[in-house]
Structure 1
Amino acid sequence: MGRPFIVTAALPPKIHGWADALRREHYPQERNHLHAHVTMFHSFAPSLYDELKDFLPIVTREFAAPEAYITGIMDLGKGTAIALQSEPLLTLRGLIAEHFHGSLTAQDLYEPRPHITIQNKVTKSEARALQASLVPTIEHRRFSFPALELHLYQDGPWEHIKTCTFRGKERL
């Protein structure tokens, strides 16, 4: 299929800095090629590049920044994430999914549970230990996603292609 495109929701600077520091501290260093992020779509075919780069700015011009809420810690089995709740982000994701209907991979057909991965590919006991230590430290807080980002998968790292800042008035 070639290298796929990935769509993420950008984090505001304070949340990003905090989550990225946790990721740098707890993600296996040899596998940590990415900054903290919220994945919306894991894999768009390279043939969809032009449509993605045209459609994402249309969406972000129309809609206001989706609000989100940090709700705690999420168990990923062999990893740990910061759990998020964001109905507006899921609604936006649904609109994008509908636009690209028929082009989504099996992984992207299902509505995700929004989260920020801070640890992955460790043993279950390592993940449980981190979760137990982080639960009392997680501060529940609200924030808004400032933008959508388009990336190209590069066999590990991602190449940032485009940032589309939310500028619209319509709330989801």
Structure 2
Amino acid sequence: MDVQRGEGAPAARPPPGAWEADPLFEPRPTTPLIVTLGFDAETFDRLDGLRRRFFPTDRNLIPAHLSLFHALPPEELDAVSAELGEAAGARPPIALRFSKVVPLGSGFALGLDVPGLAPLHRRLDDAFSPWLSPQDRQTFRPHVTLMNKADRTAARVGLAAYRDEFEPWTGMGDSLRLWAYLGGPWRPLARYPFHGDPSPDLEA
């Protein structure tokens, strides 16, 4: 199982209990941990381009992402990282279908049809159950936010513009990613690639 920390090159996954000695996790985070679904390069480039187009520039502090868990305790870094590695190594990439535009109060998001993600989320939800925040205990509705924190006029204009051009499209989720929340920006901690052949295309 390969694990990639931050922006560095892949490194062999250490045995359980070895994370404390791994300098690539230093400084160890003291703020909440975030888990997201990672995208292949083509999917990410398209999503992040849309986010940069619509999100207020001065408030766009993080890349396009699909959040799985928003606030896991940093003191459980070792257990969280080990579970993410095991879960990612046990499954193939996930086919994604961006199927609808979802209005938000101050922006909008892309809603997904992604049945292949549900079993993975359930597994992680069970594993992280003692640590889940109230937000993470809510029903999981996968989405990628393209615009938020805008004034209502800008949000209405952006939503209308994207709805006019939107057509459903497909992409691929290829990994799990772990981040530390820094009060606005996120610090990348690790990437856990999926293994095996991609899951069947949703339109097949």
**What TM-score do the two structures reach when normalised by structure 2?**
0.78
Hey, what does 1:146 align to over in structure 2?
Answer: 174
Hey, what does 1:162 align to over in structure 2?
Answer: 190
Hey, what does 2:43 align to over in structure 1?
Answer: 15
1:60 and 1:168 in contact (8 A); partners too: no
| 1:112 CA displacement | 2.4
Equivalent of residue 52 in structure 2, options 13, 17, 24 = 24
Q: Deviations over 1:31-67 (max 9, x none)?
A: 1111111111100001110011111010011111122
Larger Rg: 2
Hey, what does 2:122 align to over in structure 1?
Answer: 94
RMSD of aligned alpha carbons? 1.8
Hey, what does 1:39 align to over in structure 2?
Answer: 67
| 1:151 CA displacement | 0.3
Partner letter of residue 18 of structure 1? R
Hey, what does 1:66 align to over in structure 2?
Answer: 94
In 2 relative to 1, CA 71–170 (structure 1 residues): closer, same or farther, beyond 3 Å?
A: closer
Asked if 1:81 is matched to 2:102, the reply is no
Aligned partners of 2:101, 2:135: CA distance in 1, in Å?
A: 22
| 1:70 CA displacement | 0.7
Partner letter of residue 128 of structure 2? F
Partner letter of residue 47 of structure 2? A
- Structure 2 gaps of 5+ residues are 1-29
- Structure 1 gaps of 5+ residues are none
2:85 and 2:192 in contact (8 A); partners too: yes
Number of equivalenced pairs: 171
Hey, what does 2:144 align to over in structure 1?
Answer: 116
Partner letter of residue 161 of structure 1? L
1:152 and 1:159 in contact (8 A); partners too: yes
Hey, what does 1:133 align to over in structure 2?
Answer: 161
Aligned partners of 2:40, 2:142: CA distance in 1, in Å?
A: 15
**What TM-score do the two structures reach when normalised by structure 1?**
0.92
Partner letter of residue 167 of structure 1? H
